[in-house]
Amino acid sequence: MNAIISASELASDLAGENPPVLLDIRWQLSTAKAAGEPPFDGRAEYAAGHIPGAVFVDLDADLAGAAGPGGRHPLPDVERFGAVMRAAGVSADRPVVVYDGGQGWAAARAWWLLRWTGHPEVRVLDGGLAAWTGELESGEVTAPVAGTFTPVPESVGRVDADGAAALARSGLLLDARAAERYRGDVEPIDRVGGHIPGAVSAPTTENVAADGRFLPADELAARFKSLGASGTSEVGVYCGSGVSGAHQVLALAVAGVPATLYVGSWSEWSSDPERPVATGPDPQ
């Protein structure tokens, strides 16, 4: 099953016999507080207009635990995550489509969590809400019929800090952040700039076209091959806090390359002054 779905395919599926559950994950990483601006309000954006039938899910509250030593967006409590998904109408025998405002990062985080906890059929709307040409509805959607999804975390699909360090040595560890943060030129959020020694810079923004849609699968496969994804070694991804990294894992899935996610990512790694930090354009 393809990990992404086009807007036209979604419209067709919504009119079918077993329409997907739609989850709206409007979110963005914001520096508004530092700039003295009001923070981004995903729920307000959702209420102003969303794909008919979509249910809003809050990334910070529902798809992550409290920020702390485990990073800015650690894994959520699995039981609570399951309850949120059931309240949104999610069941294992019904497909799910997730979307956000267009960047794709937040939707990819929801996609990764659902896949990691055992849902068999989850896709991301390619290009997000910006790609949708159908009607929108406003206000809060009527509470859907509760679903039956019970999350069962898998033993594969993610790594911790030690696992990420091991991947950087023996496999391929991709850093999905902007190149300037990888090099350590700037660090607007976390304690220190730089990257995990041995990690390869691979900004996830380079996986999409100007309209926010993913590049064709063959182009993505060629890109990841040029970065060292040989098909024989394990591939891992990290970012700032496990959100844009999920988008990179999604891009790898589109390219046919399985990958694991270091959920704590740089926000966890850099919080411990004992962990090594590399700077500059080279992995080491």
Q: Is 239 a catalytic residue?
A: yes
Q: Cα dihedral sign for 128, 130, 135, 136?
A: positive
Are 269 and 187 contacting, i.e. CB atoms less than 8 angstroms apart? no
Q: What is the spatial distance between Cα 231 and Cα 104, in angstroms, rounded to a whole number? A: 25
Distance, CA of 125 to chain centre? 13
Annotated active-site residue in 4, 22, 97, 239 = 239
CB of 78 within 8 A of CB of 150? no
Token pair belonging to 65: 């635990």
State how far the Cα of 3 lies from the Cα of 217, in Å rounded to an integer.
11
Cβ count within 10 A of residue 67:
13
Catalytic residues: 239
